[in-house]
Amino acid sequence: MPEQELLVQKKREHESRDESTVPARIFVPTADIYETPDALNVILEMPGVEKTNVDIEVKDGVLRVDGRIDLSKYRGLQPLYVEYNIGHYARTFQLSNKIDQDKIAAEMKDGVLSLLLPKAEEAKPRTIRVN
Partner 1 sequence: MITAFTDPFDALLSLQRALEARTTSDWLRDHSASQGPFPPINVFQQGDDILAIVELPGIDKDDLQIQAKENTIRISGRKTMKYPDGSVHRRERMFGDFDRTLSIPIQLDPDGIKAEYRDGVLALVLPRAERDKPRNIHIS
Taking the alpha carbons of 79, 81, 87, 89 in that order, is the dihedral positive or negative? negative
What's the min distance (Å) between Cβ of 85 and partner 1? Answer: 5
What's the min distance (Å) between Cβ of 65 and partner 1? Answer: 14
What's the min distance (Å) between Cβ of 131 and partner 1? Answer: 28
**CA 120 to chain CA centroid, nearest Å:** 21
Closest CB to partner 1 among residues 14, 88: 88
What's the min distance (Å) between Cβ of 39 and partner 1? Answer: 8
| φ and ψ at residue 111, rounded to 5 degrees | 75, 10
* Parallel, antiparallel or unpaired: strands 39-45 and 30-35: antiparallel
The answer to whether 16 and 66 have CB atoms below 8 angstroms apart is no
Closest CB to partner 1 among residues 127, 131: 127
Residues that bind partner 1 (CB under 8 A): 1, 3-9, 22-25, 30-36, 40-41, 43, 45-50, 71-72, 74-88, 109-112
